[in-house]
Chain A
Amino acid sequence: MKSAVIKRVSETHVMIYIGDTIAPERASLFGSLCEKIRLEFSAGVIEVVPSYTSIMIEFNLSKISYGTLEAGLTELLGGFEQSAQKIQARVIELPVYYHADVAPDLQTLAEAKNLSVQQVIEIHCQTLYTVCAIGFSPGFAFLGSVDDRIVMPRHASPRLKIPAGSVGIADRQTAVYPDDSPGGWQIIGNCPSTLFSPEREPMMPFSVGDTVRFKSVSLEEFTQQGGQRCPNWK
């Protein structure tokens, strides 16, 4: 991976930058690279945090010097590209109830895009999305990339409370809010599945590099799976 750049940002933190554009096809490579870093530097590395074009590493300076870490990372990155391509990503299917009951922006998005609500739903369900990054809040997975026909920017001013399960679109990204949270994404549906639970092993159904497909479900299926209508939006 010749394009990788290693930059130290503090006494204890290093960034690896790979590429400068958002490319979902790179996510599985990032996922396996992170695994490899965790394994090879298990003694000195405390935290490995991937995002779209970077991996942040926190290390323990009393266990590993920066020089040793940098040399090790350089070597690891040098020989990485070929072997990593083979890893198979998992496909996780998430049920979504697409309806005005749970999605205040579904109709407006359809109108803005000259589509019917049904078309928006079909397009959102057709794409196989890649988990590009996890962050913002526990279990919040940034999924790419949304079909051009339903791309919408965030609201100019974020809503104060988005209910748990809300499925949103922000530019070319889509995501499910795992918990109640403020947020500015265009809400087009609600997923009844629990996406983050500290009591469960694993806590989340996916990690970076996995793929997600949405499946449209009826109100009956939605409520059976624990979904709740949330008609009061501010």
Chain B
Amino acid sequence: MSKLEVIQPGMLSLIQDVGRFGVAQLGLSQGGPVDLHAYCWANHLLANSMHCPVLEITLGQASFTAREDTMVALTGADMMATLDGTAQKNWRSFQIKKGQTLKLSFAQTGLRAYLAIAGGFAAQKIFGSSATVMRNKLGGLTKGDGSLARGNKIAAGQLLSAASSNQDRTVCLSVPNHFIPDYGDIIEIGVLPSYQVESFPKLQRERFFQSSFTVSPQSDRMGVRLTGAEIKCDTAGIISEGIALGAIQIPPDGQPIILLNDRQTLGGYPKIGCVSRLDLPKIAQARAGSTIHFYAADIEEKSSQWCEFLGFFNV
């Protein structure tokens, strides 16, 4: 069975599958990969089901040694991967022979890489998912004593095993070039105006769509904070309500926060709309200091693109 030993875990490396659904009414976050596009390609390159757990590696500085011959795929942020010192191209599947070490350096562009293994990483499921949500203390790998996985990031010395070996194949595949995104420093984001958009005066809405915002370093898997023009709303707070993935909430300080996978389930700040689903990976890969421009997107157009995405990956 394929196995990788964690030599260097990196700053934040988390087991993620598509997420934990159906328990938000208990206050549990969905979790899951913040860059769903890169996650799906990583599984797709290995002919894995889209539900197979993958490792989400933030910022890099991680290395793994194969205990057996292992097929993996690497997508997302380019971390200058090397295999026993030889450069490995990103966005492709390749084999790591027994004893070889895969080493990831710092992310060159973007923030997060996705490392998939043929058959998916073996991880216990809790409420139908092994997605790691650190703030909920759920998901991820157990420490080997059979106890419930407690939302820990991976640690040095841990063994990452494949859940099944029957899918092992040694064909190396690459993602076609036009599907490989450029995680640039200037990012255009489609927004579906909704929620409390009517509570933002016209002038404030114009300011939101015409200004540029800067990604704050105080961003994480819960939300990406932006700084820039102050956007003022007629109401300071609303009665707490469900927060959709990608919702853009604007607290009284006027600085938008885009809410991601580990977001709280309910919140009482006004929201101007939601980032379109297929633009969320760009937000997830945006480094501190990146510039963001918003444009008003058409829900029909974005919905049909989302449907195509779901159909292509069968997710």
Determine whether the beta carbon of B25 is less than 8 Å from that of A53.
no
Contact of A8 among B22, B25, B299, B310 (CB under 8 A): B299
Using a CB-CB cutoff of 8 Å, which residues 170-228 of chain B contact chain A?
A: 192, 194-195
Determine whether the beta carbon of B194 is less than 8 Å from that of A136.
no
Give the nearest-CB partner of B19 in chain A.
A46
Q: Does B234 contact A (CB under 8 A)?
A: no
Chain A residue numbers with a CB within 8 Å of B163 are: none
Q: Does B236 contact A (CB under 8 A)?
A: no
Chain A 67-83 interface 0/1 with B at a Cβ cutoff of 8 Å (1 = within): 00000000000000000
Q: Tell me what chain B mostly uses at the interface: helix, strand, loop, or mixed.
A: mixed
Q: Does B165 contact A (CB under 8 A)?
A: no
Size class of the contact patch on chain B: 35 or more
A-B complex: 9 closest residue pairs judged by Cβ atoms: A56-B242, A135-B266, A13-B244, A10-B274, A49-B242, A9-B194, A135-B265, A62-B310, A54-B241
Determine whether the beta carbon of A11 is less than 8 Å from that of B306.
yes
Binding site for A on B (CB under 8 A): 21-22, 24-28, 30, 126-127, 135-138, 148, 192, 194-195, 239-247, 264-266, 271, 273-274, 276-277, 299, 302-303, 306-307, 310-311
Other A-B pairs beyond A7-B195, A8-B194, 10, CB < 8 Å = A9-B244, A47-B30, A50-B242, A54-B241, A136-B264, A138-B27, A139-B27, A196-B26, A203-B26, A208-B25
Binding site for B on A (CB under 8 A): 7-13, 15, 20-22, 34, 46-56, 58, 60-62, 66, 133-140, 142, 179, 196, 198-199, 203-204, 207-208
A17–chain B nearest beta-carbon distance, Å: 8
Chain B residue numbers with a CB within 8 Å of A49 are: 24-25, 242, 265-266
Determine whether the beta carbon of B127 is less than 8 Å from that of A12.
no
Can you name 12 A-B pairs with beta carbons within 8 Å? A10-B276, A11-B276, A11-B299, A13-B274, A15-B241, A20-B239, A47-B24, A51-B241, A56-B243, A135-B27, A135-B266, A198-B148
Chain A residue numbers with a CB within 8 Å of B246 are: 10
Determine whether the beta carbon of A135 is less than 8 Å from that of B303.
no
Give the nearest-CB partner of B275 in chain A.
A10
A75–chain B nearest beta-carbon distance, Å: 22
Contact of A140 among B27, B244, B302 (CB under 8 A): B27
Determine whether the beta carbon of B22 is less than 8 Å from that of A47.
yes
